[in-house]
A and B are shown apart, each in its own frame.
Chain A
């Protein structure tokens, strides 16, 4: 009996030890096979893209998160495309488009000879079926359609009236009311054209088996682990894509993602924190990629709560904060000082707005003028890192010091992220850190979304309300003359600067890192990259 037990114990030990040893010692062997693999990869080019989170669904119209679009942007194509590294409009599935003078009718000419991954034809009928599907949905099913096009069939606010085919390769879209950013909205990833045959057959399951016309076909998805897409050999754009396979791997921890890049488990990593940039740059095996900035990080001042109900106090805070010091310390210089609520790449940006210089003396004077009673404020620090705010806690500490210098005491508080947004949307914060990344590169997507009174309770967290800006921003939404429209936005920015509901802090440059032999990777400001041109040296 005892011998048996001893024997089994011994055996178990031997087994465990040998497993560990085998695993360790087989490393060399595995290195060899690993090399073989990379030998194979000369035949087959595989890119492993490490990112912070998993996709929610691969049916782009049903989701709002960037991690879903990162994949769908390569499986689906939109009628109109954004530029390679900007948001200027480029032909894609639509080769040409024309708007009627009143801005109510748009005619699109479609690319011929394009096929969906399931072999069915892309044509006007397919486009119409996609719009029919979207328009007969609801906000629960297709949230982005609701927010970008006002609503669905029969809704009062709906922008799109009807979509009709005119022959095989022409589509006419009629609107209920003119919408200036209409074409830019169409270029957004959620509005990728899907195979009608596939979504009619799959129904709600389409997101697990997406079929589009894009450069890559969907292969498999292991949730919270990896999504694999492979080359679409019949892709209509000549010579593309260059890669045979792309694997999106979720690695939530920033340091772990960088470690995986260093060990070669992944080839490209998203969400590099600015403080890691120096060590990557000094590593000859790696390179840094900069994503053009299309965001803003800001300190919101809730205008309904004292002392920020007084415009002078808000202006004083604007003078009190040393933005350059914050950018140098926490963005490692990878950001531009913000003076307007939107970045300079967006059309309609007003460069004539002076902004507030760092001037503690002036801040003190303004506070005195305002009769500020020295009441301590709550300063909310974001609990999660975002490209526009890599470290909310530290930025808050710097601001706390700046405010103390001019005689304003503050207490830093933080909540778990969903709670933070919920409470801030209810106007419970005095001053809070937040930011925004643009969806479509349009001024409306910043100024109206973040600072118009109709968005109080959702994205206008400061509860800022102003008759003039409201009028200007509404007018700009339907103004189809580009020059006039930009003028309206410029005027609005002047008022916003004066009224100072925010302290705009920075427009950051999000960073990625990849292996040194990656070529032709051009990160897109929206965060959804088309990977068809990327290649290995």
Chain B
């Protein structure tokens, strides 16, 4: 529904764009400054890759993201599917539970975790993954719920069951492929959250990529800015590819068939 943009809309878009783009450009300019005055170069970026913690902390964050994504997939997909089938009477309760993480400030949550969890859990960095599953609940639940609401789920399940598929097969080969976009969205949110989360990691004394950035920055402001530019730009590129990818790459045949 493309409409004609009038002057005031153009002004709003231009001003808004400038407000967001200009500081980013400024940060980029800053990150190119070198310690010698008046010269520009990629020294600050090169410095990042030479740091000890860079690879190890990035890999910790990626592994956390992977575990979080798997947990979301295994825990949330069957749960939300069931809520749309036989368990509809529990939908309101689960919906309510999924809103609780929005009400509890993460810092409060971190405090409770610190005292409540037993040592065996607190001694592994993967405890963060389980917490990220909780923190991302409002978004992952919402994404899956919207996806499942837009397909004729019951018909699909009945057809699949009548053809002799087990419930597990139906879930794996019918439901998940049909709501691939929603599942991708949920997983993507969980991954983005795990890669950028700072509060829980720092208060539970773990080193992840974001806390490492904060540590490195002390005394190396130029490098920290280069790192920030790099990480925001990286996230932006990934999301942009995901958002603007042609439809044929994102959906699949079954989804087309159900339309």
Please indicate whether A and B come from the same complex rather than being unrelated chains: no
A interface, CB within 8 angstroms of B: none
Chain B interface (Cβ < 8 Å from any Cβ of A): none
